[in-house]
């Protein structure tokens, strides 16, 4: 009986909780272009933004669930393509990228899997996941 009473008191409280929308997550508004705005290195710790970035990089997401990643570095331009999906997890929404071929633009702890994860932050940015394996934290802003 105590469990039923406790459950009846908790259900309204649980039902009133509302998950807040993350700025920038608007799956119906494509194309979307996201530009690299900050690179944070771990060993030794450093932060680069704007003109101090080692390279310039963008993701362009299309309504047909395809993307193109473009990097400009040292007068060279590299591109990679694939498909993406926006998914939900306990930590919030993220984008799963699946590349069509192996390339040096995949920012992942396991690039041979042709997968890359980008997490939507509360500040409306996209954040890379390679810092889990001592890679840089790359943050992208929607243009």
Q: Which of 143, 76, 66, 133 is nearest to 104 (CA)?
A: 76
Q: Is residue 9 part of a domain?
A: no
Q: Residue 33 belongs to a domain with what CATH number?
A: 2.40.128
Q: Is residue 80 part of a domain?
A: yes
User: What is the C-alpha end-to-end distance of the chain, expressed in Å?
Assistant: 56
Q: Is residue 42 part of a domain?
A: yes
Q: Which of 22, 19, 21, 20 is nearest to 142 (CA)?
A: 22
Q: Is residue 45 part of a domain?
A: yes
Query: Domains in the chain: how many in total?
Result: 1
User: pTM above the 0.85 mark?
Assistant: no
Please state, in angstroms and rounded to a whole number, the distance separating the CA atoms of residues 84 and 90: 19
Q: Is residue 11 part of a domain?
A: no
Helices (H), the chain: 2-15
- Per-residue pLDDT tens over the stretch 93-111: 999 999 999 999 999 988 8
- Per-residue pLDDT tens over the stretch 38-72: 999 887 889 999 989 999 999 999 999 999 999 99
Q: Is residue 53 part of a domain?
A: yes
Q: Is residue 113 part of a domain?
A: yes
Name the residue range of residue 52's domain: 27-142
């Amino acid at each position: 009986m105590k469990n039923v009473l406790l459950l009846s008191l908790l259900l309204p409280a649980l039902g009133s909780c509302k998950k807040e929308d993350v700025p920038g997550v608007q799956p119906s508004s494509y194309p979307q272009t996201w530009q690299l705005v900050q690179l944070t290195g771990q060993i030794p710790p450093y932060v680069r933004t704007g003109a101090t970035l080692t390279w310039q990089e963008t993701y362009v997401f299309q309504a047909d669930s395809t993307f193109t990643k473009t990097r400009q570095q040292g007068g060279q331009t590299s591109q990679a393509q694939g498909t993406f999906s926006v998914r939900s997890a306990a930590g919030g929404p993220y984008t799963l990228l699946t590349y069509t071929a192996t390339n040096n633009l995949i920012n992942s702890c396991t690039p041979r899997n042709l997968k890359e994860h980008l997490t939507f932050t509360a500040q409306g940015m996209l954040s890379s996941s390679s810092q889990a394996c001592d890679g840089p934290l790359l943050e992208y802003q929607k243009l």
